[in-house]
Amino acid sequence: MERRTLEIWGDLKTQNQMLLWVVGALSVALVAVALAVWGGLKRTPYLIRVNASGEAQVLRGTPEETAPDLAEARFFARQFLSVYLAPAPESAADDMALVLAWMTPKLREAHRKVLEDVRFISKVKSLKAQARVFFGDVVAAPTGARVTVTTEGMVESRLAASAQARREPFSATILLAGAARSTWNPNGFLVDHATVTYGSGEGGKGDDGP
């Protein structure tokens, strides 16, 4: 008669508890994965385009994630005017390139021609003026599918050869159009029209260019 031997390693009760714990942990993990998949199916998928320069644009997403709001409009308007009214001499070309990128194509071409005609970048570099923009209230209001931003403030400039600062008040009205968010424009706006008036408005400058 053949003899069979059964070898038991470890305590059976302990092993049974470990197996139950493993089964329970796997069940929780499966439930978590199922909830994650279910939540992902309910969300509108992102559609992101990356161009040859490596810039990414969100072309589709949920409205809450892609639609700009008035707070973003105010922030973008301040950001635009800070560069538009006070380009730095050492980075004038880059500053104006950024300003142009923040405009709609039609306004961009008009400004590009003005910049070239008046040799604006060369003048900024030669004057070596350091400028800062101080803002008062910035108000944003919907205008149909666009947003109108109005503000006023002060441009303080100082020439390299002068210790005295020049302060000039300004008022500005900017019409913003919605645009795809990107790495260089995360706020989802482009400037479609800009009017800046310096001083009291009498003999001031209302323009779509520098």
Residue 58 pLDDT level (bands cut at 50, 70, 90): low
Q: Tell me which range, 35-39, 65-69, 87-91, 197-201, is most confidently predicted by mean pLDDT.
A: 87-91
Would 84 be classed as within a structural domain? yes
The token pair that represents 201 in the structure block: 């408005």
Report the CATH number at residue 71.
3.10.450.230
> Could you tell me how far CA 83 lies from the centroid of its own chain?
15
Count the domains in the chain. 1
Assigned domain for 77 exists: yes
H or E element that contains 124 = helix 120-127
Confidence class of residue 141 from pLDDT cuts 50, 70 and 90? very high
**Which of 75, 52, 60, 64 is closest to 180 using CA atoms?**
60
pTM of the model: 0.61
4 located within any domain: no
Q: Is residue 205 part of a domain?
A: no
Give the bridge partners for 172, in sequence order. 151, 196
109 inside domain: yes
Is 19 a member of any domain? no
Quickly tell me which residue has 């149909």 as its tokens.
144
* 178 found inside a domain: yes
Q: Is residue 10 part of a domain?
A: no
Which domain does 78 fall in, by range? 66-198
